Structure 1
Amino acid sequence: MSLAAPGHAATQSIDVPKGTVGQAAFAIGRQAGVSIAIRDSSLLKRPSPAIRGTMGAEQALMRLAEASRLKLQKVGPRSYLLLPRPPQIANDQRPPTPRAVPSPVPQPVEETQDIVVTASKRDTLSQRFPGQWTRIDGHEFAPLGVAGTEAIEARSVGFSSTHLGAGRNKLFIRGIADSSFSGPTQSPVGQYFGDMRTGYSGPDPDLKLVDMNSVELLEGPQGTLYGSGALGGIVLLKPNMPIFGEISGAAASGASVTWHGDPSYDLSTTINAPIADNIALRAVGYHARDGGYVDNRATGERDINNVRVNGGRATLSAELTPGWFIDLAGIGQRIRGADSQYADRDLPGLSRYSFVDQPFDSDFTLASFVVRKDSGSLRFRSTSGASWQDVDENFDASTDGNIRQLRQHSRARAVSNETRLWRPMSNGYSWLAGFSSIVHRYKVSREIAQDDTIFDLSGAENRVRETTLFGEVGFELTPKIEATVGARYTLSDLSGSGEHLSPLAASRLGDEDTERKEQKLLPSAALLVRPVTGLTVYARYQQGFRPGGLSIANDSVRLYRNDRLATAEAGFRYGRPGRDRFDLQGSVTHSRWYDIQADFLDPSGLPVTENIGDGRVWTLTANGGVRVTTELRLEAGVAWNDGKVTRAAGGLLEMMAPAGGTMRIPNIARVVTRAAVDWNHALGNGRALEANAYARYVGHSRLGVGPQLGEEQGDYLDSGLVMRLSDESRALSLTVTNLTDAEGNRFAFGAPMETSADQLTPLRPRTIRLGFELSF
């Protein structure tokens, strides 16, 4: 049985009261950020002493093991087993004479051994959380090398992405998608690194999942807790935090071979160092090269789409006074793509006919400062920071023999703060109160390059300032019934401007009032019932929104309004994934989407944003698993989505929908299914062998809005295999992706001015990676 589901990795003194082994193991795991398993459930009720002081996870667990007559075994960089201690044999080989020892008073295994949903922002246990939530342990990313968002997508049926290229994709959760482009509209998915928002508008920065504690997916909308831009839900990346009093580190490397493509390699390193008794630093660095696999028949170049990534981050944590901490963190990442990864459908193999190179760059920087108190009856957290994101893209815009290149430059800048105070559930109630503010600027400029001449195209800049108050209260109506109500009030100040405008566009912009104020009140309510042990049934209502903005392309000038999503959901959850013998969760949701913001292509092939009308989305999901033996677990999941535009805005119906048809919500497959097998075997002496195999089918979807973006995509099978042999300090892994070497079509798009039926984005061909990890 696995007990520890840590929220944040430890950056504080261990404070565990006297109790049972089960209670102590969970508390240490949560405070120190490690995973702890106890396979013999009879050990859970053993008495344990109080464990307090500034120490690392292993030291705290050694104290627990020694005091409770247990044996501690390290099975991974941040994973441990607590086992019965072998009986001691006297020198004469005779067993000791049994003594009558009073049995400890039986104590129930408390609900604190449940999983903590950190993304709930008030330390809600999973059996008390009224919503769909997924947690992926950071240990799963270790054998993948320098992996990014695609590793999350491969482990979920409700999470998806466009596949334009690393650092320039758009993310979707639960059937809520607007368009294929990352333009001035705010993303429908909120992205967070720790408590810090990684972006507002713009693409997914694709931060690499090196030295991660976990990734949490919270299905939306999540307007009450996270504000604007959480229509589909949120993605929370939780890094491992500094550990006081411990010098430790890790290094990893890998080499990959790709069918029909260039080889790849990756390197990463992590160091944890104490600066003083109450100060510690954790630093991470990584570099990777992904070999290309698309050929350009026009130039004769092969494997043109290689990508290089360099990145790092560092966190300094300090305990100011007992229980109060500060974290100072910085992140930097640079992605360089030599060319785009799309191919022509009508050419054999993975190839295309392109007269110009189409490289792209994505630079992301983040700095944050956190003041927090994570223990006690009242808890506090204030997060302040800034982020910078620069994305430069080049597209083939050649027409009628004229060789041209479209260049697009996106610049995003944000400064934000969120401060909240909360009380976890105790004595029948919990509450959360907070405020947040963000100032954000997003600028897009474009130009056409032909020979040595550059023609500037119209560009736009959007500025937004949001100020928000939010709160949530949870209370027990009976010991088995709970209710939650909440609300968020947001005031948005919007403004925009243009550059390199044509006379017609300048005139149209002059007729618009680009400075506006928008106000939104987002209510939420949920009812949860636990009719029997292990089963949670819930119903909830939640809203989300995105503010309006300005869109300019050539002579087109549009002021689009805010859009709003209202969702009713009913669902259930039984058991805890990976811990109980059997687990199953499912939900059905119905969403009404008003004034949908979406991008479509204008006659010149450039994206422009407009409110296209109203829509509705039905979603059904089910995920479950069964532990066949102590070593073998099977799991499967399915998501069904049906999203349609039910009312088109004036003049857009003919443009959006095929003759006599309806307009489907783009980029969301009607059906996604996934199955996986997990096998773990202890070899003794701290060694373990793990294996995981998965297959994920993605059904048909539509590229975007309008006839130019009406192409079908999807209908492919993705698959993979991971094998890992490890001991206390080393690991050797073998990873295979795209086992069947399927081509597929993840994204029917490559260049906006050349959009046609012959563009597709294939899966990366079969790739085999051999990796090595070393920790100390």
Structure 2
Amino acid sequence: MAKLSGLQVRKVGSNSYVLLAERPQPKLRRIAPTGAPIARPILRQEAEPQLADIVVTASKRDTLSRRFAGAWSRIEGDEFAALGVRGADAIESRTVGFSSTHLGSGRNKLFIRGIADSSFSGPTQSPVGQYFGDVRTGYSGADPDLKLVDIKSVEILEGPQSTLYGSGALGGIVLLRPNMPVFGEQSGMISNGASLTRRGDPGHDTSGVFNLPVGDAVAIRAVGYRALEGGYIDNLATGGKDINDVRVTGARATLSAKLGGDWLVDLGGAAQRIRGNDSQYADRNGPSLSRNSLVDQPFSSDFSLASIVVRKDTGVIRFRSTMAASHHQVEENFDASMGSNPRQLRQLSNARALSNETRLWRPMKDHYSWLAGFSAISHRYDVSRDILNEGESTDLAGTENRVRESTIFGEVGLELGRSIEATIGARYTIADLSGSGQHLSPVAVVPAEAERKERSFLPSAAISARPLDNLTVYGRYQEGFRPGGVSIAGDTVILYRNDHLRTAELGFRYGKPGRDPFDFQGSATISSWHNIQADFLDGSGLPITDNIGDGRVWTLTANGGAQLTDDLRFEAGIAWNDGRITHPADAYRAAWDMLEGTMNIPNIAKVVARGAIDWRVALGGDWMLHTNIYGRYVGSSRLGVGPQLGEEQGQYLDSGLMVRLSEGARAWTLNITNITDEVGNRFAFGAPIGGVDQITPLRPRTIRLGFEQGF
């Protein structure tokens, strides 16, 4: 049928096909929805040619982007390759709907589309589902901040995604898609970079990628990287200069084997270690980029992951089963000094998970598609604290939360007409919860409900229409939830309940970025949030978790671009968020009244705006020059919930420049971050006890020179 229509069928990935016209296509460069990729011929990967359409992998049904009823964006991995060893901060700088707390690499909390609960990573689930391939990298606790080395793409789905992804995906999901092993090919790439930070220490980074075939049916892809980010904060109390150096070491490997027919198996493993010499916050009213701390505040993040995937990614019916185990340990030290008496608060958290997801799906054909699957996860999160005072340690209360989830889920897509499609889905989850306290006083009582069972049913529905070839309009309804747990406030054991989010969304997409002269997409959402789980500070200054009441979140987003010439593209985007508590729980009504009924959702800027210009020119022969410059404004937000966390943050401009000169298999790069050398305030928190008037400044202007060589 394709041949009779004058089309070609071409495979563009392990599970992706497109129809291509045989006549020559317009000379427009392939550009991701959030930016322009960098031409990198130095390491062959699975090819993605000039596509008529692309597949939304995160949809789990191989849905074409023009059919997908939801806010979706994709950043090509080549955008990150020229930046060195970077993590979630590089994703944030390329979007308007994705944000982070900026406490420090490996201990941040991520947010999407105005759905934020608190400033701290504790026993509550993250409001963002984080995935590396098919494996969830976080359940409770901090974002491990896996570095974006040898990444094929990053996909972001905005809004609740609990029907397909389960508990925790309240704001959306971020999916890191690594490059997979290529059969029958031996190739590699080495990258090195050196950086200078104004008023700070120098840094460097190194990474390598190797693809090795083992016969015709087995291939291995290995990745390794190291990086040093030079410090730029001075400690006036101790005389330390540039104290906040951060070192990162990581490696991962994947072995893929053909089992016969279209069946494959992937064995994967990853490990990453982050070591920070000290925290990156400063005093708001002191000399620039400095603070007074009587003790050092080092931190560390150790993450490991192992997985096995059995898959069949072609044919009418497709299959994938993923088993994984992960462990994330975070050790933090905070200044807890009282007057001139130096004291150190130490906190150790461990998050461990075992999970499986198995699903069957049928991509759209003959006017319908479907997906059916089940999943199970066992997760344990524990946190312990102590105070170190003059060499003596005093244990503080800690907690352990355990969750076991069993789930079935499914989704059906139907073509109701030539250009109208509907999707309905549902997820049913049974969660067994238990929790306990550690180092409690004899008078402390653990509620009997700490061990309980919760059931949730999460429906979803969407409809989309294509009144014009380049225009898709859609409406969507989705729900999300997080299970409850226990938290400790002094000697009191607090039982917090599950929270539930309902979201309605209207949106549209016009044109394809990089393929049409003009592209534009936008969405408007309203969310109702019941029993919001949030963290706040108790009387001793330590964060605890509780249900603070009900709220609502409104968001408006718009992104677009114009292909001004074959070589020049302009992009712009803006997000407006308005989230607030509408009905506080009884325990927090006094704080709500004190703020005159305007208790806002924390950590989400009212306005985020971004613009970028991408330009490239062929210099003759194999030489090419590529330049990209961007600016991103982040408006004001509030640190947390309640008067104690009322500090303002935000209202700063982030900016960056990338210049890449390539010739065949090698390239030279120049990167500049924070071009205007703005101080700003990304996060108004540093130490929980006695911490007032703290800011987290942007890294000062940093210049990096890099070199890449492929073979």
TM-score band (shorter)? over 0.9
Equivalent runs, 1:219-618 vs 2, <5 Å: 219-505=158-444, 508-509=445-446, 511-618=447-554
- Map of 1:192 onto structure 2: 131
Instruction: Report the Cα distance in structure 2 between the residues aligned to 1:442 and 1:81, rounded to whole angstroms.
Output: 40
Q: 1:30 and 2:13 equivalent? A: yes
Give yes or no for contact 1:77–1:728 (8 Å, CA) kept in 2: no
- Map of 2:705 onto structure 1: 770
Instruction: Report the Cα distance in structure 2 between the residues aligned to 1:215 and 1:358, rounded to whole angstroms.
Output: 32
Instruction: Report the Cα distance in structure 1 between the residues aligned to 2:232 and 2:433, rounded to whole angstroms.
Output: 43
Query: Which stretch of structure 1 is more off in the superposition, 653-662 or 129-138?
Result: 653-662
Corresponding letter in the other structure for 1:610: D
Instruction: Report the Cα distance in structure 1 between the residues aligned to 2:583 and 2:528, rounded to whole angstroms.
Output: 11
Change (3 A) 1:620 1:78: farther
How far 1:20 moved relative to its partner?
Answer: 9.1
Corresponding letter in the other structure for 1:711: E
Q: 1:138 and 2:56 equivalent? A: no
How far 1:687 moved relative to its partner?
Answer: 2.6
Change (3 A) 1:684 1:278: farther
- Map of 2:53 onto structure 1: 114
Give yes or no for contact 1:22–1:113 (8 Å, CA) kept in 2: no
Instruction: Report the Cα distance in structure 2 between the residues aligned to 1:81 and 1:705, rounded to whole angstroms.
Output: 48
Instruction: Report the Cα distance in structure 1 between the residues aligned to 2:377 and 2:676, rounded to whole angstroms.
Output: 46
Change (3 A) 1:689 1:20: farther
How far 1:634 moved relative to its partner?
Answer: 0.2
How far 1:686 moved relative to its partner?
Answer: 2.9
Corresponding letter in the other structure for 1:488: R
- Map of 1:214 onto structure 2: 153
Q: What secondary structure is seen at the aligned counterpart in 2 of 1:326?
A: strand
Runs of 4+ in 1 over 2 A off after TM superposition: 16-24, 27-34, 73-83, 655-661, 682-687
- Map of 1:637 onto structure 2: 573
Instruction: Report the Cα distance in structure 2 between the residues aligned to 1:336 and 1:566, rounded to whole angstroms.
Output: 39
Percent sequence identity is 65
- Map of 1:49 onto structure 2: none
Q: 1:706 and 2:645 equivalent? A: no
State which of 662, 665, 670 in structure 2 corresponds to 1:734.
Answer: 670
How far 1:460 moved relative to its partner?
Answer: 0.5
Give yes or no for contact 1:314–1:329 (8 Å, CA) kept in 2: yes
How far 1:408 moved relative to its partner?
Answer: 0.3
Give yes or no for contact 1:620–1:641 (8 Å, CA) kept in 2: yes
Instruction: Report the Cα distance in structure 2 between the residues aligned to 1:32 and 1:376, rounded to whole angstroms.
Output: 9
Instruction: Report the Cα distance in structure 1 between the residues aligned to 2:443 and 2:511, rounded to whole angstroms.
Output: 62
Q: What secondary structure is seen at the aligned counterpart in 2 of 1:140?
A: helix
How far 1:488 moved relative to its partner?
Answer: 0.3
Corresponding letter in the other structure for 2:376: S
Q: What secondary structure is seen at the aligned counterpart in 2 of 1:651?
A: helix
Change (3 A) 1:74 1:732: closer
Corresponding letter in the other structure for 1:695: G
Instruction: Report the Cα distance in structure 1 between the residues aligned to 2:90 and 2:665, rounded to whole angstroms.
Output: 24
Instruction: Report the Cα distance in structure 2 between the residues aligned to 1:432 and 1:37, rounded to whole angstroms.
Output: 23
- Map of 1:105 onto structure 2: none
Instruction: Report the Cα distance in structure 2 between the residues aligned to 1:715 and 1:349, rounded to whole angstroms.
Output: 17
Give yes or no for contact 1:22–1:44 (8 Å, CA) kept in 2: no
Corresponding letter in the other structure for 1:763: L
Instruction: Report the Cα distance in structure 1 between the residues aligned to 2:19 and 2:424, rounded to whole angstroms.
Output: 35
Instruction: Report the Cα distance in structure 2 between the residues aligned to 1:373 and 1:689, rounded to whole angstroms.
Output: 40
How far 1:216 moved relative to its partner?
Answer: 0.4
Give yes or no for contact 1:23–1:113 (8 Å, CA) kept in 2: no
Per-residue deviation, residues 474-531 of structure 1 (Å, max 9, x unmatched): 01000111000000000000001111102232xx21x433110000000000010100
Give yes or no for contact 2:40–2:78 (8 Å, CA) kept in 1: no
How far 1:659 moved relative to its partner?
Answer: 3.9
Query: Which stretch of structure 1 is more off in the superposition, 494-503 or 122-131?
Result: 494-503
How far 1:19 moved relative to its partner?
Answer: 8.4
- Map of 2:588 onto structure 1: 652
Change (3 A) 1:453 1:243: same
Q: What secondary structure is seen at the aligned counterpart in 1 of 2:12?
A: helix
Instruction: Report the Cα distance in structure 2 between the residues aligned to 1:32 and 1:429, rounded to whole angstroms.
Output: 18
Corresponding letter in the other structure for 1:308: R
Change (3 A) 1:82 1:706: closer
Instruction: Report the Cα distance in structure 1 between the residues aligned to 2:235 and 2:25, rounded to whole angstroms.
Output: 61
Higher relative contact order (CA 8 A, sep 6+): 2
Q: What secondary structure is seen at the aligned counterpart in 2 of 1:119?
A: helix
Per-residue deviation, residues 9-60 of structure 1 (Å, max 9, x unmatched): xxxxxxx997899745xx33334999x999x994259xxxxxxxxxxxxxxx
Q: What secondary structure is seen at the aligned counterpart in 2 of 1:513?
A: helix
Instruction: Report the Cα distance in structure 2 between the residues aligned to 1:631 and 1:611, rounded to whole angstroms.
Output: 52
Instruction: Report the Cα distance in structure 1 between the residues aligned to 2:281 and 2:515, rounded to whole angstroms.
Output: 41
How far 1:82 moved relative to its partner?
Answer: 11
Corresponding letter in the other structure for 1:191: Q
How far 1:553 moved relative to its partner?
Answer: 3.2
Instruction: Report the Cα distance in structure 2 between the residues aligned to 1:19 and 1:139, rounded to whole angstroms.
Output: 36
TM-score (norm 2): 0.95
Change (3 A) 1:33 1:429: closer
Change (3 A) 1:565 1:722: same
- Map of 2:98 onto structure 1: 159
Instruction: Report the Cα distance in structure 2 between the residues aligned to 1:173 and 1:155, rounded to whole angstroms.
Output: 13
Higher helix share: 1
How far 1:684 moved relative to its partner?
Answer: 3.5
Instruction: Report the Cα distance in structure 2 between the residues aligned to 1:82 and 1:499, rounded to whole angstroms.
Output: 53
How far 1:113 moved relative to its partner?
Answer: 2.5
Q: What secondary structure is seen at the aligned counterpart in 2 of 1:663?
A: coil
Alpha-carbon RMSD across the aligned residues, in angstroms, is 2.2
Any stretches of 5+ residues in structure 2 without a counterpart? 27-38
Instruction: Report the Cα distance in structure 1 between the residues aligned to 2:366 and 2:48, rounded to whole angstroms.
Output: 31
Q: What secondary structure is seen at the aligned counterpart in 2 of 1:753?
A: coil
Instruction: Report the Cα distance in structure 1 between the residues aligned to 2:218 and 2:529, rounded to whole angstroms.
Output: 48
How far 1:576 moved relative to its partner?
Answer: 1.2
- Map of 1:683 onto structure 2: 619
Instruction: Report the Cα distance in structure 2 between the residues aligned to 1:444 and 1:209, rounded to whole angstroms.
Output: 28
Instruction: Report the Cα distance in structure 2 between the residues aligned to 1:422 and 1:682, rounded to whole angstroms.
Output: 43
Corresponding letter in the other structure for 1:564: H
- Map of 1:174 onto structure 2: 113
Instruction: Report the Cα distance in structure 1 between the residues aligned to 2:325 and 2:47, rounded to whole angstroms.
Output: 40
Change (3 A) 1:627 1:81: farther
Change (3 A) 1:629 1:80: farther
TM-score (norm 1): 0.88
Any stretches of 5+ residues in structure 1 without a counterpart? 1-15, 46-72, 84-108
Instruction: Report the Cα distance in structure 1 between the residues aligned to 2:534 and 2:124, rounded to whole angstroms.
Output: 8
Instruction: Report the Cα distance in structure 2 between the residues aligned to 1:82 and 1:223, rounded to whole angstroms.
Output: 30
Give yes or no for contact 1:261–1:303 (8 Å, CA) kept in 2: yes
Instruction: Report the Cα distance in structure 2 between the residues aligned to 1:80 and 1:487, rounded to whole angstroms.
Output: 34
Change (3 A) 1:771 1:41: farther
Per-residue deviation, residues 543-564 of structure 1 (Å, max 9, x unmatched): 0000000101321311100000
Per-residue deviation, residues 750-770 of structure 1 (Å, max 9, x unmatched): 0011231x2000000000000
Change (3 A) 1:677 1:20: farther
Instruction: Report the Cα distance in structure 1 between the residues aligned to 2:61 and 2:510, rounded to whole angstroms.
Output: 22
How far 1:76 moved relative to its partner?
Answer: 5.6
Give yes or no for contact 1:657–1:707 (8 Å, CA) kept in 2: no
